[in-house]
Amino acid sequence: MQTQEQLNRIQIGPETLSLPQIDKRGTNVSSYIIRGGNRLLGDVKVSGSKNAALGIISAAMLLDGPCWVDNVPDIADLNVMLEICRALGAQIKRESDGTLYINPCTITTCEATYDKVRSIRGSYYLLGALLGRMNRASIYMPGGCNFGTRPIDQHMKGFESLGASVTIEYGKINVEAEHLRGEHIFLDVVSVGATINIMIAAVKAEGTTVIENAAREPHIVDVANFLNTMGANVRGAGTDVIRISGTPVLEANATYSIIPDQIEAGTYMLAAALTRGDVTVHDIIPKHMEPLTAKMEEMGVKTEVGDDTIRVYMEPDQQLRAANFKTMPYPGFPTDLQPQTTVLLCVAEGSSKMLENVWENRFQYIDDLKTMGAEIMVAGHTAIIAGSSQLTGAKVMARDLRAGAAMVLAGLAATGETEITDIGKIERGYENFVKKMRMIGADIARIVE
């Protein structure tokens, strides 16, 4: 456990700490070892938003000139997206200060059939971008976390409304249009992906497109702001009605900075409360965190909100109160914080309910939590958490990105040692996770197999 004096000497940013590694055969990093019980203390800086960056890099493929994008997180999903865009012919360079230079004018194909397209979900945004750019696109079916069925019918409905024909064959989605024309589109479900994809495809369409029942997540606003900075005309992002006036040419030649990652920030805030710690999360937009801060205060967690910081703190022996949650599209409680929050409810006093409203099957990690001593019963979309559990260390798996982050949090609260396997899933979406956690006092290490 680091002394306060050591913690105070630590600067914000990963480069001050070297990582302890247990090297068995020195090829692949494969799991984390966590020793629980430390109170998390100190400062952590949040990276750029994964889900905004995936939309923005795809939207950049639409432009008629180069652009510069900064605050792009160095995470596996983004690096795969950059590889896919380079395979289309785009010039992409990371400059010395981390800013990305992107020039899509050298794109030579509308076929994104690079194998890695199947490994991430965000690759589906290339459908909207290439359709908008070349009136044609063909990409492999996207991948992503397994939450049961993940239909894309609303994306297709939107493209067809704009005048495109859509076919799915041989594992590929093909969209084609002689001419894209603005249209009034009502989404049957509130979908982040469909809202962003249709918005991107409609930017260069003739006339005006209206998307009704649109999703309102912060990353949707960020993609719209990026497009407007590059010359587009998108109004109303962040509300449930978005209006896009077609602009034939997007000059670009501008720089854009991506918003902080709401889900990464929430993960550190929950870790602080779980360990009865005192952590300040930096470089965030507090407004985006309100769905979480409000519920944490209900549970007795103390928070202090600054311009771009939130301090989360508790007394070492303070009890957490039970609470009921239901996940909803923004500004409701984010489903991407559901697993991490369920861990917090495991140690709260009394019984809580977690209702998963967005995804069909997002409780697969609960068996792993039960292995660590949690008492949870799942009935359909509801998990009933008994609370007041003392978690104990065990060997568990990262089932997907956020479930993996939840296992790290469970390990921090558990007595003894926890080993988490398949951590590649976690590093898809958390930049320098181990370094940042160690900076606030977590006892976590990587095992290299």
Residues with catalytic roles? 145
Minimum CB–partner distance for residue 385 and ligand EPZ (Å): 21
State yes or no: cis peptide before 334, omega within 30 of 0.
Answer: no
The residue among 365, 387, 391, 420 whose CA lies nearest residue 36 is 391
The least CB distance from residue 435 to ligand EPZ, in Å, is 21
Rounded CA separation 135/248 (Å): 12
Question: CB of 303 within 8 A of CB of 270?
Answer: no
Closest of 181, 239, 231 to residue 208, by C-alpha? 181
Question: Which residues does 426 contact at the CB level (< 8 Å), separation at least 6?
Answer: 32, 398, 401, 404, 405, 408, 420, 433
Distance CA(247)–CA(392), nearest Å, equals 58
Q: Could you tell me the smallest distance in angstroms from the CB atom of residue 153 to ligand EPZ?
A: 5
In this complex, which beta carbon is closest to ligand EPZ, that of residue 192 or of residue 242?
192
CB of 121 to ligand EPZ, least distance (A): 5
374 CB burial (10 A radius; 0-12, 13-18, 19+) = buried
Q: Which CB, 174 or 389, lies closer to ligand EPZ?
A: 174
173 versus 413: smaller Cβ distance to ligand EPZ: 173
**Contact assessment for residue 428 and residue 76, using Cβ atoms and an 8 Å cutoff:** yes
Nearer to ligand EPZ, 133 or 402 (CB): 402
Q: How far is CA 212 from the centre of its chain?
A: 24
Residue keyed to tokens 């976390």? 145
DSSP H or E segment with residue 102: strand 100-103
Which residue, 227 or 322, is less far from ligand EPZ as judged by CB?
A: 227
Look up residue 167 and give its two tokens. 């076919």
Query: What string of H, E and C letters represents the secondary structure of 167-222?
Result: EEECCEEEEECCCCECCEEECCCCCHHHHHHHHHHHCCCECEEEEECCCCCHHHHH
- Smallest distance, Å, CB 301 to ligand EPZ? 23
3-class SS string, 285-351: CHHHHHHHHHHHHHCCCEEEECCCEEEEECCCCCCCECCCEEECCCCCECHHHHHHHHHHHHCCECC
- Shortest distance in whole angstroms from residue 146 CB to ligand EPZ: 10
Which whole-number Å values give the CA distances from 311 to 269, 283, 320, in the listed order?
Answer: 8, 12, 17
Residues 6+ apart with CB under 8 A from 184: 161, 209, 210, 212
Closest CB 429 distance from ligand EPZ, rounded Å: 6
Among 189, 219, 212, residue whose Cα is nearest residue 359: 189
Of 51 and 280, CB closest to ligand EPZ = 51
Binding interface with ligand EPZ (CB under 6 A): 50-51, 54, 121-122, 145, 150-155, 189, 191-194, 215, 335-336, 358-359, 401-402, 429
- Give the integer Cα–Cα distance in Å for 101 and 119: 24
> Between residues 234 and 320, which has the closer beta carbon with respect to ligand EPZ?
234
Contact 337, 266 (CB under 8 A): yes
Judged by CB, which is closer to ligand EPZ: 33, or 131? 131
Provide, rounded to whole angstroms, the least separation between the CB of residue 336 and ligand EPZ. 4
